[in-house]
Chains A and B, each alone.
Chain A
Amino acid sequence: MEQQYIELYKQHHESIKEHSATVMNTLRDGSFTLFEKLGFPTSKLENYKYSDLKEPLSIDYGLNINRVTIPVNPYEVFKCDVPGIHSFLFFVVNDAFYPVNEPNNKSLPNGVIIGSLKEIATTHPELLKDYYGKLSTTKNDGLVAFNGAFAQDGFFMYVPKGVVLDQPVQLINIMRSDVDFMANSHNLIILEDGAHAQLLVCDHTMDEVRFLSNRVTEVFVGENASYEHYKLENTHIKTTNLSTLLIDQKTSSTVLTNVITLHNGVTRNSIEIDLDGEHCETRLCGMVIADKNQQVDNFTYIMHNKPNCNSNELFKYVLDDNSKAGFTGKILVAKDAQKTSAFQINKNILLKKTAKMSTKPQLEIYADDVKCSHGATIGQLDETAKFYMQSRGIPEAEAKLLLMYAFTSDVIENIRITALQDRIKILVEKRLRGDLSKCEGCIICQ
């Protein structure tokens, strides 16, 4: 199945480059050569053990290499239903950054630049050149290499030194196509020293065709900067969502990521954190609620390269029906990374015997003065708690619901945008009740 894309690249690499930017094109052929060598990842690879991508990758998807305009205005069709979120709102339609609708966006603080990666790579190449591909090209990963070869655009955000964005930035990825479609986009986020930003990424699908998105996001977090990355997935069952989030942290920086899958088809989230300075704080959280034949694999890799950093991971899954999910918590503590503390928890509830969860902590520790712990549980709901609630008159079904909701509550608490937290609480409750949990603004996403 790789072959058709290899042929496609060989025939059309000129067009791909023509519709992209020089900074991106510089690395393109190298990425392609790597992809030719690696191919798409299979579950035989240790890092992809719990991702079964064979079927979704075998579909004959269309690509929009010549950047034909997609006839949709997201500012008109998309109404975010997180009440009171007050965000700076941006769209990527399939794999192209959608032109900013000025009246809808309040002016950004001084010096902050948000826009199309392709355009800014052309108008401000000096901003990107030290960052673009710096993390992604170090990865020996077929999906990342594929993205490097085919991505022509994406979302770009630059927050200069000391600037604090007091409102979250919201990036909506909308998939819109009449035929089965693949989108490769590359996002680049740069926070200079002391900057602060929150990014909320929402994935939506608009049409009932097969979609595959393969997105790579590189984030550079400067000294004393703080960055929060929320990913909320609410897509349909025919969607394959492959997302790689690569973050580099400098001294005393703080990062929180929270990836929430409420509804999807096949999802793979890779989150890799490079702790590239001392005294960094990193918190990775995630939640999955899946049923039917949904698949979700969250792969995390934290590289403790420097001493005195703290990392924390908290992932919770509620799996029903024939859903299948995985979690990998890979942690590397380098030889000199003394006084590292790294904690990891993955808890899972299986509501039916047919649901399947695989979980794997993977710690490689080369320093001797470290505090590391990991815990993973796979179980059912707490029967004694359920009985306690029933004995107070709460019917069994309601008691189960309250317990599932409670189970996910500590992940929800790790959402530091109040309006979003309130909304997620409601969406999760609806989802657990079996009601449609789609965002109201989404046209089709059951």
Chain B
Amino acid sequence: MLEIKNLHANINGKEILKGLDLVVRPGEIHAIMGPNGAGKSTLASVLSGNQAFEVTKGDVTFYGKNLLEMLPEDRSREGIFLSFQYPVEIPGVSMVNFMRTALNEHRKYNKLEPMSATDFLRTMREKKELVEMDSNLANRSVNEGFSGGEKKKNEIFQMAMLDPRLAILDETDSGLDIDALRIVANGVNKLKRTDNATILITHYQRLLDYIVPDFVHVLYDGRIVKTGGKELALELEDKGYDWIKKEVDGE
């Protein structure tokens, strides 16, 4: 579904991604790991259409369509979902209003009628249960005053509502205590199907105890330098990133 070829991207004139290749097929879970500054979050930002990043070279297609030419909202409506590392607080916009607008924009894009109020509220209730989200949170402004854990649960809740074909989880495990981590991971696992895929971006192996990846990639200095199975993550946890750096820099 997703093909990334030789992707180069800059921020403020500094090259961060330096020829990244990745192929994701339906049903797969990919973990992208790597040391700080390797370009993990840049990859997530570029895929979601963040204007702060400039793509200088390479192609990204999503089900054959040129992703890089799409507006951020169209990428979402095509089925790409980014769970933000730092979810944004939007004072004054209620979760209900935000989610209803988003969901109905998705439906409009797919030539469906807006969802009825009753169906919408029922769907909200079901999906909130999935991440054990406090029902009061839905009546509050988007992420405003939410704790770190609540914000991340809210990301997975939104993912459940929008039912993406490809979910990119950027450092979803950062700042979570063990209970919140379990709930978030549980939510992701329940949303897993054979026709959707997940990219987990993470610094630590911890999340992979709960969500088992099919592939583990090591991102270093703007490129994927090593790919393996889930055992690669354990090896990284054990040995750190230095041996990879040595391997690559020694080339």
Contacts and interface: CB of A to CB of B under 8 A. Distances in A.
B158 A388 contact: no
A3 interface: no
A387 B51 contact: yes
B76 A392 contact: yes
B48 A402 contact: no
Interface residues of A, number: 22
Instruction: Give the contact-size bracket for chain B.
Output: 20 to 34
A384 to B, nearest CB: 5
Interface stretch (A244-252, A330-338, A406-414): A406-414
B71 A392 contact: no
Given A406-B90, A409-B92, A393 B105 contact: yes
B72 interface: yes
B98 A393 contact: no
Interface string B88-103: 1111110001100110
A125 B233 CA distance: 89
Nearest to B75: A391
B141 A390 contact: no
Interface in B65-87: 71-73, 75-77, 82, 84, 87
Contacts of B32: none
Given A387-B72, A402-B97, A392 B90 contact: no
B98 A389 contact: yes
Contacts of B84: 388, 391
Contacts of B106: 393
B88 A384 contact: yes
Interface in B85-142: 87-93, 97-98, 101-102, 105-106, 109, 141-142
A218 B106 CA distance: 54
A39 to B, nearest CB: 43
Contacts of A409: 91-92
Contacts of B93: 402-403, 405-406
Contact of A387 (B50, B91, B101): B50
Contact of B90 (A388, A390, A396, A408): A388
B49 interface: yes
A391 B82 contact: yes
Given A391-B49, A391-B82, A402 B101 contact: yes
A394 interface: yes
A77 interface: no
Contacts of A391: 48-49, 72-73, 75-76, 82, 84
Contact of B49 (A385, A390, A395, A402): A390
Main DSSP-derived SS at the A contact region:
helix
A393 B49 contact: no
Contacts of B218: none
Nearest to B92: A406
B88 A392 contact: no
B199 to A, nearest CB: 15
Nearest to B90: A385
Contact of A396 (B73, B77, B109): B73
A398 B51 contact: no
A341 B249 CA distance: 62
B162 interface: yes
Contact of A392 (B97, B98, B141): B98
B76 A388 contact: no
B76 A406 contact: no
Contacts of B76: 390-393
A395 B71 CA distance: 9
A394 B101 CA distance: 7
Contacts of B101: 394, 398, 402
Given A388-B87, A398-B105, A402-B101, A393 B92 contact: no
B77 A393 contact: yes
Nearest to A402: B93
Closest 3 CB pairs of A and B: A406-B92, A393-B76, A409-B92
29 contacts: A384-B88, A385-B90, A387-B88, A389-B102, A390-B72, A390-B73, A391-B48, A391-B76, A391-B84, A392-B102, A393-B73, A393-B76, A393-B105, A393-B106, A393-B109, A394-B98, A394-B105, A395-B71, A395-B73, A398-B105, A402-B98, A403-B90, A403-B93, A405-B92, A405-B93, A406-B91, A406-B92, A406-B93, A408-B92
